[in-house]
């Protein structure tokens, strides 16, 4: 077995496809300029998101929580040629830089970047979502799930990040935030509208497929 988590992470990154030049720059600049760079999906999880997106071949993607746009660019790799990816973030501070990344990418007209409260923005978006990635305000994960579940067609995916919460979900006396994650996981595990499993990738990725 691997002796250290860093050893496993390094091996996984060595055996998956490389980041392209833009993703490497987003990665590097996020670590240089952000106080919480670990919020970024990163190389290996980015390849997972890209693979899942390509398997779905979505016409429309919804991402809740843009941060610096790394996961956005990975998800966009699976879009159909005329597909649209709506990504929403509450933080205006990164808007100019992140918009620049999107304009430099292969998907400048496919990515629609919204700044605002996701709960207010989502109802304004038209159509269904073949793929949804929820990676924002953790206490509202279930709210976001309930907002989108009826707008995901059969066979579509909903992905929710950070559902292992650094292993705190195993705590005997969890704090309030951890208890919210535990409650979310228990609720989703019982939801008969979706097939589901948690991938133990980084901080845990819940993969839910609409029946």
Q: Over the stretch 128-174, which tens digit does the pLDDT of each residue have?
A: 999 999 999 889 999 999 999 999 999 999 999 999 998 899 998 99
- Per-residue pLDDT band at 5 (split at 50, 70, 90): confident
- What pLDDT sits at residue 90? 96
How many domains does one find in the chain? Answer: 1
- Sign for the CA dihedral angle at 150, 127, 54, 62 comes to negative
% of the chain residues with pLDDT over 70: 99
Beta bridge pairs of residue 115 = 89
- In this prediction the pTM is 0.95
- What pLDDT sits at residue 1? 43
Structural domain that includes position 181: 5-210
- What pLDDT sits at residue 7? 87
Sheet containing 194-199, strands listed edge to edge, beginning at the edge strand earlier in sequence: 111-115, 84-89, 60-64, 131-134, 157-161, 205-210, 194-199
- What pLDDT sits at residue 3? 56
Which pair of structure tokens corresponds to residue 104?
Answer: 């430099």
Q: What is the CATH number of the domain that holds 60?
A: 3.40.50.150
């Amino acid at each position: 077995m691997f002796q250290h988590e860093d050893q496993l992470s390094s091996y996984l990154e060595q055996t998956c496809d490389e980041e392209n030049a833009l993703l490497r720059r987003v990665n590097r600049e996020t670590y240089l300029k952000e106080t919480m760079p670990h919020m970024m999906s990163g190389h290996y999880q980015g390849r997972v998101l890209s693979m899942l997106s390509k398997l779905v071949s979505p016409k429309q993607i919804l991402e809740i929580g843009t941060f610096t746009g790394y996961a956005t660019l990975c998800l966009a790799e699976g879009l159909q040629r005329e597909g649209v990816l709506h990504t929403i973030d509450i933080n205006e501070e990164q808007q100019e830089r992140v918009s620049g990344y999107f304009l430099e990418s292969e998907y400048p007209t496919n990515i629609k970047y919204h700044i605002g409260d996701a709960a207010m923005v989502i109802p304004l978006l038209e159509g269904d979502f073949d793929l949804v990635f929820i990676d924002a305000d953790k206490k509202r994960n279930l709210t976001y799930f309930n907002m989108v579940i009826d707008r995901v067609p059969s066979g579509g995916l909903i992905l929710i990040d950070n559902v292992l919460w650094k292993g705190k979900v195993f705590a005997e006396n969890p704090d309030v935030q951890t208890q919210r994650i535990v409650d979310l996981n228990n609720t989703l595990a019982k939801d008969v509208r979706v097939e589901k499993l948690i991938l133990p990738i980084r901080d845990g990725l819940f993969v839910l497929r609409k029946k």
